[in-house]
Amino acid sequence: MKQLRLSKTIIIMMIRDRIAYPGRLIVDTFGIAARCGVLLILYWYIFNVKGGEINGVTFQITSWSMFLYFAFMTLRLRDLASSIMQDIKSGTVEILLSKPVHYLSYRVWWQFGAGLYPFFVAAILGTVALTFLVGIPATMSSSFFFLSLVGVFILSSILSLLIYAAVGLLSFWIEDIKPLYWIVDKAVMILGGSYLPVALFPPLMYKIAIWSPFGASQFITHTVYETWKQSYLEMFGIQLTWIFILGFIVTVMFSRAHKKVSVNGG
């Protein structure tokens, strides 16, 4: 109950904070829209040149898959790693650890709350724009799609937060985690199907994308494909397995890191 109150308070506070700066939101949304838009125009050309279909997938499906990746990115869950690193580098972690609130819960909810408003704005605007431009594929017009989308969204968010929390917590042992963060982030970007949609992956790369935590954290991009109905249970299973494994790793890392810090000490 206490945890729920904490999460609610932080999320409301962060949403109010984001609403207070509409200029920043407009600029950020424009940036993502421009990047995603340019990419979609390029793929539109590629699909036209290749006769409208590549690997049995149409441009319509591809564009929705890539859009889901970019919309999910607006949650900025990956910033959790740099927030934790900043707390450790600046020493703020000492103060936060002495509070009667679990440090990781606080950081996770803070991150989630900070991205929620931009996510909804980008998702709604993008959905409207794509619906008018390319239309809605048949795979997205069933209630099964919406229900499974909600499920995969929750699991993807938890998995992403765990991946970036593990990277961030390494700051307790490594002086500069940025290089590691770049590698993990790019693994998520490639295997998640950002610039190259998952349907266009070569077979080996597709297997890596399915079985690695980096690809699993972006299963949201798989929901628009026709294969989703057959594979969703397996994918939920993979996500849950990684959540348990990474949850355990993060818990161990945090308890060790906690012992390493002497709060209010020298």
Partner 1 sequence: MKNELKFALHTIKKNLASSAELRTSFLMNIFGMMINNVSFVIIWVFLIKTAGNIGGWTSADIFGLQGFVALIYGFVFSFGAGLKEMPRLVSSGIFDQFLLSPKSLLGRVATSSFSASAIGDLFFGVVCLGIYWSMIGASMEQIILTLVLCVFATLAFIGATVSIQAISFYFTDPDSVTRSLFELFFTPSLFHGGAFQGATRFVFTFLLPSLVIGTLPVEAVTNLSYQKVVLIGVLSVVWFVLSLWLFKKAVKRYESANFMTFGQ
Binding site for partner 1 (CB under 8 A): 21, 23-24, 27-28, 30-31, 34-35, 38-39, 41-43, 45-46, 49-50, 54-55, 175-176, 178-180, 182-183, 185-186, 189-190, 195-196, 200-202, 205
Name the residue nearer to partner 1 (CB basis): 35 or 102. Answer: 35
DSSP 43: H
- Cα–Cα distance for residue pair 192/194, rounded to 1 Å: 6
Q: Shortest approach of partner 1 to residue 32 CB, angstroms?
A: 9
Name the residue nearer to partner 1 (CB basis): 41 or 233. Answer: 41
Name the residue nearer to partner 1 (CB basis): 79 or 185. Answer: 185
Q: Shortest approach of partner 1 to residue 110 CB, angstroms?
A: 19
Q: Shortest approach of partner 1 to residue 98 CB, angstroms?
A: 28
From the CB of residue 180, how many other CB atoms can be counted at a distance below 10 Å? 15
- Cα–Cα distance for residue pair 139/221, rounded to 1 Å: 13
- Cα–Cα distance for residue pair 28/78, rounded to 1 Å: 16
- Say whether 227 sits in a helix, a strand or coil: coil
Q: Shortest approach of partner 1 to residue 118 CB, angstroms?
A: 11
Name the residue nearer to partner 1 (CB basis): 135 or 202. Answer: 202
Q: Shortest approach of partner 1 to residue 35 CB, angstroms?
A: 5
Of the candidates 82, 176, 69, which has an alpha carbon nearest to the alpha carbon of residue 126?
A: 69
Q: Shortest approach of partner 1 to residue 7 CB, angstroms?
A: 27
* Residue 196 backbone zone (phi > 0: left; psi -120 to 50: alpha; other: beta): beta
Name the residue nearer to partner 1 (CB basis): 57 or 140. Answer: 57
Distances, alpha carbon 166 to alpha carbons 111, 183, 254, in Å = 15, 14, 9
Q: Shortest approach of partner 1 to residue 29 CB, angstroms?
A: 9
Distances, alpha carbon 126 to alpha carbons 42, 90, 118, 119, in Å = 17, 37, 12, 10
Name the residue nearer to partner 1 (CB basis): 53 or 234. Answer: 53
Q: Name the burial class of residue 160, with classes exposed (0-12), middle (13-18) and buried (19+) by CB atoms within 10 angstroms of its CB.
A: buried
Name the residue nearer to partner 1 (CB basis): 183 or 233. Answer: 183
- Cα–Cα distance for residue pair 79/85, rounded to 1 Å: 10
Q: What is the CA radius of gyration of the chain?
A: 20
Of the candidates 129, 140, 154, which has an alpha carbon nearest to the alpha carbon of residue 225?
A: 140
